[in-house]
Amino acid sequence: MKFLDLAKVYIRSGAGGGGAVSFHREKFVEYGGPDGGDGGRGGDVVVQCVDGLNTLIDFRYQQHFFAKNGVPGMGKQRTGADGDDIVLRVPVGTEVLDEDQKTVIADMTAVGQRVILAKGGNGGFGNLHFKSSTNQAPRRANPGQEAVERTLWLRLKLIADAGLLGLPNAGKSTFLAATSNARPKIADYPFTTLHPNLGVVGIDNAEYVVADIPGLIEGASAGRGIGDRFLGHVERCAVLLHLIDGTSDTVVEDYKTIIGELEAYGGELAAKDRVTVLNKIDALDDEERADLKADLEKAVGGRVMLMSGVSREGLDAVLRKVRAEIEADRARERAAGAEEEPWRP
């Protein structure tokens, strides 16, 4: 299945059915009176979060979603049928954006969540509705309410506990393949990974989800390379795992490049907790490891871990560190949620 994380859709709710102007006609009934029924209500356009989807590829082949109109009212006090709703089924983590691609209309984060994007029009009143003591034979009826048309964007942000960051060929896909059941493409050339991959990582009888996104290069925030469009997939992560190629001649510069792109991307991404790891240490001797770690820790201003995805050296320690950061983030969320709950006597 192809991966698609951004799609444009055109939606229209159903218009309400018009009310009817009708009078009761029956043999031996001299004053039948008005009996025009109301129009039916138009259908809604609804977005629903479903399980089993991880891409928006279905919206590449169908972009227009129109709900059914309500049926007009009829004589003999018959109300028109309501129009059928139409449902857009999206994966967990999908954001619904307005046409400007900035205004968030809905954030679909839980299976079963439903949001009405365009409400169907109400049906019009028939002339029976306007009968009164002073107006025994009204000859007016209301038209149905008009439909609502909108142009929207769907943007998928994968929900993962940890996100992998690094330059192309930093070893992110190798790490994911070594620690999970994911099988991303691995090669010795840049931009092997062209779309995000998810893997379930297990350590000490606990599991968490890791997202691997295509590598960033300098200038990604300005559109160079694949650009920064995939950074949205790690916005929801509790911690970022920053892998740095230990065989590079510019280890410190590589680190600063990624941090610069995070800051240029904006939002809270640059402020997220990070675990910085010097990768591919299987190709380094002890002296090289010590020197590179010291230089990198000076630039980071904190701890740098050593690891090799190929030989699995230091792998478990990194996984435990990431798990600890995830659990700490969840604890902070629980504490914040408890503070927001209203006090009850």
- Residues contributing to the annotated binding site for GTP: 166-173, 191-195, 212-215, 279-282, 308-310
Provide the 10 A C-beta neighbour count for residue 78: 17
Distance of CA 109 to the CA centre of its chain: 7
The residue type found at 143 is P
Q: Evaluate whether 246 touches 280 at the Cβ level (below 8 Å).
A: yes
DSSP state of 68: P
The Cα–Cα gap between 130 and 70 comes to 21
Residue 285 CB burial class (10 angstroms; 0-12, 13-18, ≥19): exposed
Token couple for 174: 């190798």
- The CA-atom distances, in angstroms, between 37 and each of 31, 109, 337 are 18, 42, 50
- Pick left, alpha or beta for residue 301 (phi over 0 → left; psi -120 to 50 → alpha; otherwise beta): left
Q: Please enumerate, by residue number, every residue annotated as part of a binding site for Mg(2+).
A: 173, 193
The Cα–Cα gap between 305 and 280 comes to 12
Q: Please enumerate, by residue number, every residue annotated as part of a binding site.
A: 166-173, 191-195, 212-215, 279-282, 308-310
Query: Would you call 329 helix, strand, or coil by DSSP?
Result: helix
Token couple for 156: 């998928």
Largest pairwise CA distance in the chain: 110
Torsions phi, psi for 201 (to 5 deg): -105, 135
Q: Evaluate whether 235 touches 165 at the Cβ level (below 8 Å).
A: no
